[in-house]
Amino acid sequence: MARTHAQWQDFANTLSIEGRAFIDGQYVAAADGRTFACLNPATGQHLVNISWAGAPEIEQAVSAARRAFDSGKWSTLAPLARGRILKDFALLIREHADELALLETLDAGKPIGDTTAVDVPGAAYCVEWFAEAIDKIGGEVAPVDPKIVGLVTREAIGVVAAIVPWNFPILMASWKFGPALAAGNAVILKPSEKSPLTAIRLAALAKQAGIPDGIFQVLPGAGDVGKALAMHMDIDCVAFTGSTAVGKLIAVDAAQSNLKRVWLELGGKSPNIILPDCPDLARAARSAAGAIFYNMGEMCTAGSRVLVHADIKDAFIAEFSKAAAAYVPADPLDPQSRMGAIIDRVQYDKVLAYIASGISEGAQLLCGGRAAYADAGLFIEPTAFVCPRPDLTICREEIFGPVLSIITFHDIDEAIRIANDTEYGLAAAVWTSDLSTAHRVSRRLRAGTVWVNCYDEGGDMNFPFGGFKQSGNGRDKSLHALEKYSELKSTLIKL
């Protein structure tokens, strides 16, 4: 049965939290004793001190991963056998769903209703999906001279460093380690220092499921740990989700070390285009509110720019204002809460600075614009601006908070020009009643995902996820994700 607000609070008060790194099958503290504090952003409460991995821990983890991979105890297991162990891992994630959801909520300020319904089930589904897929894909027999047998096969790439963000800690991590483990690799997971708790707990569940020591490890720490992994000569691949600025640094580090494979899922400034023949303006407005206020706007795919046709601008704003009123920041442990807390003070101050920028540059404040419960946690009101032009700072830069820019256009060509006028290309949406318009506009939008008459729906593992331009390269999810964690080999046998 679902827990009540009081029951979640009681659970939080009795929860035992692990804060150490997980290396070669066991939890270990940093050799130098260095730690950093993990705080609840909704209350400021100190949760636990987290071990900050240093050079000794990084070397131990990489050595263990290389040793475990080279032994073949995971990489040479039959795909079906690996899949069975990963399905046991997924089952354990489900069995510990409430614990993991609570860790996520306390750590990242996310509403418990979201972590129990989306984040943790989504992570289990991802691991299970790749577990079931890995024994159903094969190689090729190339059409060559009949005196030659030509085989094209895929092999595990080796040691993978997965560096993941703080906004969807367990879900984004699963999108990396799910396919990487399924393909036979050893994984070193580096969670964000802002939200490391679920990654640390997952390590013990992976061992319990039967994943061999050294194959799944967790190194907490800040940017220095990520840089060390990106520079390490014995890591074969880095998969990163985070900001474009950090992604560029990782690419440089990888190039300057051993030219390891680098896969980057980066930022976004996604346009949500409302055409005058929108089939349901009220639904579009509710969807637009969810696209920017869900997860406190801390989403790379956030629909942070609504482009609305001049003919329906006033009607849309009226509907949007009603929809936005449903998002009220509140205690993340309350199952009824739709908005939680901003991840930390740095991000909180950054979002408030962007709001101030919007006001100073002449944008009309439609709703919000202030801190909520300033003395009780890092909460910000859902905020929307009507912008006089599309080149304001809040219209161009990724805010990663609950701040929407509403921009007016007069024809489709102008809408597409504004939509594509960004360094990013992660996601976009268009609302129209005309099927041909939907196809034409979708083709012209430079984005990795385009939704039509919805936003951020259909989050099935069958769809690849990633972006164009400076939103990164490679794809998470779907069978295409396996391409990132394997190498192609051609074998030619003369008969």
Q: Among all residues, which ones are annotated catalytic?
A: 265, 300
CB atoms within 10 A of CB 257: 15
Nearest CA-CA partner of 380 in 349, 336, 424: 349
Give 417-420 contacts, CB < 8 A, sequence gap 24+. 418/271, 418/305, 418/307, 418/390, 419/271, 419/273, 419/305, 419/307, 419/445, 420/444, 420/445, 420/446
**Contact by Cβ (8 Å): 299, 286:** no
352-364 as b/e: b if 16+ CB within 10 A: bebbebbeebebe
Task: Provide the H-helix boundaries in 116-264.
Answer: 120-133, 169-182, 197-209, 223-231, 244-256
Q: Is the dihedral of CA 55, 60, 63, 68 positive or negative?
A: negative
In the structure encoding, which two tokens stand for residue 275, read together?
A: 């055409």
CB atoms within 10 A of CB 272: 27
Nearest CA-CA partner of 312 in 270, 287, 282: 282
**Contact by Cβ (8 Å): 415, 257:** no
Parallel, antiparallel or unpaired: strands 46-51 and 35-39 = antiparallel
**Contact by Cβ (8 Å): 402, 293:** yes
Task: Extract the runs of DSSP E, i.e. beta strands, from 63-166.
Answer: 140-142, 148-156, 159-163
**Contact by Cβ (8 Å): 358, 328:** no
Nearest CA-CA partner of 339 in 303, 307, 377: 377
d(CA 268, CA 419): 12
